[in-house]
Amino acid sequence: MRYVSTVFVLLALWGGLTCAAEVPFGAYLDFNTGEGKLLKLSAVGDGSREPAEIDGARCVKTDPAGHRYYLYFDVDDYYIYGGQQDVLVTVEYYDNGASGFSLSYDGKNGSWTGGGSAPREDSRKWRTYTFRLKDARFTNRSNSNDFRLNNSRGEPLYVRFVGLSMATMDLSAKAPFLSADGESKTEINVFLKDHWGLPRKEGKVTLSATSGRIASPVEIKNGVGTAAYVSGKEPGTVKIEASAGALSGNATLTLLPTKGNLLLQKAVVDEFEPGEDTWKAFNHNGGGAASALSKVADPAYSGSGALKIVYRGTRDYVYLECFAPALRLPGAPKKLSVWARGSGGDTLELFVRLRDQTGQLFQFPLGEIKGSGWTQLSGDVSSPQSANSHWAGAADGIIHYPFTLYALVVQGGMTETEIFLDRLEVESYVGLAN
């Protein structure tokens, strides 16, 4: 909702307010001092605006006894409206009781998108928690508001400050893979935005690395700074951490047991040619008939055959795992791709499961199979952050190379659907020592 002024008057609470001094928030409400800008606490059916005071600090609270479990907030459209914004919501609250509270907001996935939970441990002290919303729309769809704090259990929730910022810090490595030779180098780019989501004109960022050497601090000019990183000699995962005031960010590098520059090469993993039956189907279903797979000569994208999958879905959750023999992938895979074709039936989702040397499994999305033409699907398999889940083995979320192809996973349909797969390829950084 668009407001006439950037200073809001909560007459029902404490009378007129004055404009606050500059703070690192684009929008905020300070219930203790009565100051605020571009943010309003709203009164809607199940929302509360009840004032309170704890330890000499003025605040607002929810009212569970009166079935008012929520604090609703409306952000001025001048600050945020539409799109998919990366927003930090900082809440200062009284730590009473043992039940946490959550935040829901108007986001990409709906008017009540879950924004996570903050803990309460009954310390009886004021504490601060920051929620990070990756896709805030804030188009007033949450009961004519943009977000709310939810406290449906336990004692009342007491809040004395809420601040919003679009300030972010992101890190990107020019080369995410390096040789563990003590001298391989890459650049780490740091991107810094202010509380309006605009590139910060200048500043300094402190960086550190769990191994190797990194230049610090980094000077930020027009939102960007660059640091030089030199590898260590121990293969494995390196975490780069950065901080500037209340902002922080991180990036992950992988050091491979090689020397010198890495070479990025493509290799065909399987052409699915007719002959030896190397793939087996394992069907998880809610009672539907077993799905099946076979090698066929037509249609084929390349070579003389393709893998045909007859996917039989039900209204229960179904997925089909197509297990292959242990196919070791070369080097450190960056991208895996496969050509896929539907038959005009349901749209299905395709995933790949890769197993590292500890037996840990990572599942990476490849895309949707739909339509009746050949389409190349591909997925980033270069980092744990690209996976939508991991389990078994070391279960530490770190890739311990080499990778072997464990399974292709098909899921999502409700009816019998035929699909075809062909030419499974991998793009890898090669040169790993065996």
Q: What angle do CA 325, 330, 333 make, to 5 degrees?
A: 100
Q: How far is CA 42 from CA 39, 47, 283, in A?
A: 10, 8, 51
Per-residue CA distances from 397 to 346, 389, 408 (Å): 33, 9, 20
pTM of structure: 0.63
Name residue, tokens 């090669």: 430
Contact residues for 4 (Cβ-Cβ < 8 A; gap 6+): none
Tell me whether the omega of the peptide bond preceding residue 299 falls within 30 degrees of 0, making it cis: yes
Alpha-carbon gap, residue 269 to 404, rounded angstroms:
11
Q: What is the pLDDT of residue 351?
A: 94
* Residue 370 amino acid letter: K
Find out whether 131 and 119 touch, Cβ atoms under 8 Å: no
Q: Measuring CA to CA, how many Å separate 30 from each of 7, 13, 164, 173?
A: 11, 12, 12, 39
Q: Which two tokens stand for residue 60?
A: 């607002």
Residue showing tokens 């509270």: 101
Encode the chain (434 residues) as per-residue pLDDT tens digits: 544 333 333 322 322 222 233 348 999 999 999 999 999 999 888 899 999 999 899 999 999 888 999 999 999 999 999 999 999 999 999 999 888 999 999 998 899 999 999 999 999 999 999 999 989 999 999 999 999 999 987 789 999 999 999 988 999 999 889 999 999 999 999 999 988 889 988 889 999 999 999 999 999 999 999 999 999 998 888 999 999 887 888 888 989 888 888 888 999 998 988 876 678 887 776 545 667 878 888 888 988 889 998 888 765 567 778 888 778 898 899 999 999 998 887 888 999 999 998 999 999 999 999 888 999 999 999 888 889 889 999 998 888 888 999 989 888 877 888 899 999 999 998 866 54
pLDDT of residue 434: 41
Give the pLDDT score at 23: 45
The single residue listed with the structure tokens 């601060």 is: 128
